[in-house]
Homo-oligomer: A and B are copies of this chain.
Amino acid sequence: MKDKTTRDLIVEAADQLFYQQGYEHTSFANIADAVKISRGNFYYHFKTKDEILDAVIAARLVNTQKMLDQWEVEGQEPIDRIRCFIRILIANQTKIMSYGCPVGTLCNELAKLNHASKDQASMLFTLFRNWLGGQFSLLGCNTEADAMAMHLLARSQGVATLANAFHDEIFIQQEVQQMCDWVELCKERASPKVV
């Protein structure tokens, strides 16, 4: 269970490099160097570059789902769980300022390439969307739960894009605070405290 196969190592390295350099800009040589295997060996594990991309997306889907499951445990109330989501902007702020959001930037790139796997990449967003939608439902925002999930997802995406462009972590923190306030407000509107 502990030692990773070469295939796993390739996927892991590719995942990182695709994030940091972009899919197209990352060559087999780059990945091979990172894993410390020869380029030829590569093709034993993956026949094409597209196959690696698919494997990377699949791995991200699994890891994302795990993270969501984890938040389900960590956050007692729906509002706490939503805050877990918002706070990834803080937790990952250094990376975000350098490379943007891993999901958003990948979707952007694949859309421009009109790549066959672009819809698969969007599934990463769908995972967050559905999970957030579920939390907003639990919060009492039944009819608008999905719209609110999309709204929050969009705001966090925008923050990542601008934080990347301006390298501004104060901005991230301000916006995170505002998003938390907004969720709080949503909750109160959905089930007003009886005073």
* Chain B residues within an 8 Å CB radius of A111: 98-100, 164-165
The contact of A156 among B22, B158, B164, B175, by CB within 8 Å, is B158
Query: Do B113 and A166 touch across chains, with their CB atoms under 8 A apart?
Result: no
* Chain B residues within an 8 Å CB radius of A122: 165-166
The contact of A153 among B99, B108, B112, B158, by CB within 8 Å, is B158
Please give me the residue from chain B that is nearest to A144 by CB atom: B174
Query: Do A109 and B22 touch across chains, with their CB atoms under 8 A apart?
Result: yes
Which residue among A99, A150, A154, A164 has the maximum number of chain B CB atoms within 10 Å of its CB?
A: A154
Indicate if A134 sits at the interface (CB-CB under 8 A): no
A171 to nearest B CB, angstroms?
6
Q: Interface size for chain A: under 10, 10 to 19, 20 to 34, or 35 or more residues?
A: 35 or more
* Chain B residues within an 8 Å CB radius of A109: 22, 108-109
Query: Do B175 and A154 touch across chains, with their CB atoms under 8 A apart?
Result: yes
Please give me the residue from chain B that is nearest to A178 by CB atom: B151
Q: For the complex, what is the distance from the CA of A161 to the CA of B121, rounded to whole Å?
A: 13
* Chain B residues within an 8 Å CB radius of A25: 24, 112-113
Indicate if A56 sits at the interface (CB-CB under 8 A): no
* Chain B residues within an 8 Å CB radius of A121: 165
The contact of A113 among B21, B112, B162, by CB within 8 Å, is B21
Chain A, residues 166-190, CB within 8 Å of chain B (1/0): the string is 1000010011001000000000000
Q: Which residues 146-162 in A have Cβ within 8 Å of B in the complex?
A: 147, 150-151, 153-159, 161-162
A118 to nearest B CB, angstroms?
8
Query: Do B151 and A175 touch across chains, with their CB atoms under 8 A apart?
Result: yes
Given A22-B113, A105-B108, A157-B162, 17 additional A-B pairs, CB 8 A: A21-B112, A24-B25, A25-B112, A25-B113, A98-B111, A99-B111, A104-B108, A104-B161, A108-B109, A108-B161, A125-B165, A147-B174, A150-B162, A154-B155, A154-B161, A154-B175, A157-B158
